[in-house]
Copies of this chain bind each other. A is one copy, B any other.
Amino acid sequence: MQKEHNLSKNQKIIFDLIDKSGGPMKAYSILFNVQKKGIKAPLQVYRALDKLVEIGKIHKIESRNAFIACQNSSCQVSKATAFSICESCENVSEISNLKLSKYLSNFSDNSGMKYSKYNLEFFGLCKKCKSK
C-alpha cells in the first residue's frame, strides 16, 4: 500500500491540475494555469513538483520535460516507471505490466551495480496516429 500523504495547499492545487488534465503537463504551463490560484513563481511550481515526484503522485517524463499523474496504484511505482509515448500526438501513458516491472527490477549485469530505480520510455505511434 502507498503511504497516505497529506498534500499541502500548493501541492494539492498542482496535483489536481495535472491529474485532471489526463496527460503530461510542462512546468510553465502549470504555472500559467495556477496563477489565478495565487501561485505566481516558477519555484513554487517546481517545489511542489519535486515533492509530488518524490512521493510518487506524479512522474517526470524525462524526454519531454513534462509531468504526468501516476496512473498506477501499486507500491514502488516511483522507483520503477515505464511509459509509452506517441511521437506524433505526444500522448503518454504509464505502462503497468507486472512481468516487465519484475524483469527490470531484477535486472543485473556484470557491472557490480545494484539498481534501485529505473525509468523506461517507449516511443512509437499510437493507434490513432498509425491509422492516419
Chain A residues within 8 Å of B, Cβ to Cβ: 62-63, 84, 86, 93, 95, 97, 100, 103-104, 107, 109, 111-127, 130
13 contacts between A and B (CB under 8 A): A63-B119, A84-B109, A84-B111, A86-B113, A104-B120, A107-B122, A111-B127, A113-B124, A113-B130, A114-B124, A116-B123, A117-B124, A120-B120
A125 to B111, CA, bound (A): 11
B122 contacts A84, C-beta separation under 8 Å: no
**Nearest-Cβ distance from residue A77 to partner chain B, whole angstroms:** 15
Residue of B nearest to A120 (CB): B120
Residues of chain B within 8 A (CB-CB) of A86 are 113
B100 contacts A113, C-beta separation under 8 Å: no
Residues of chain B within 8 A (CB-CB) of A100 are 107
Q: Which of B62, B95, B113 contacts A126 (CB 8 A)?
A: B113
A103 to B123, CA, bound (A): 15
Residues of chain B within 8 A (CB-CB) of A124 are 113-117
With A62-B63, A100-B107, A107-B100 known as contacts, the answer to whether A123 contacts B115 (CB < 8 A) is yes
Additional A-B contacts beyond A86-B113, A111-B127 (18; CB < 8 A): A63-B119, A84-B113, A84-B115, A93-B111, A95-B109, A95-B111, A100-B107, A103-B103, A112-B127, A113-B125, A113-B126, A113-B130, A114-B125, A114-B130, A116-B125, A117-B122, A119-B121, A120-B120
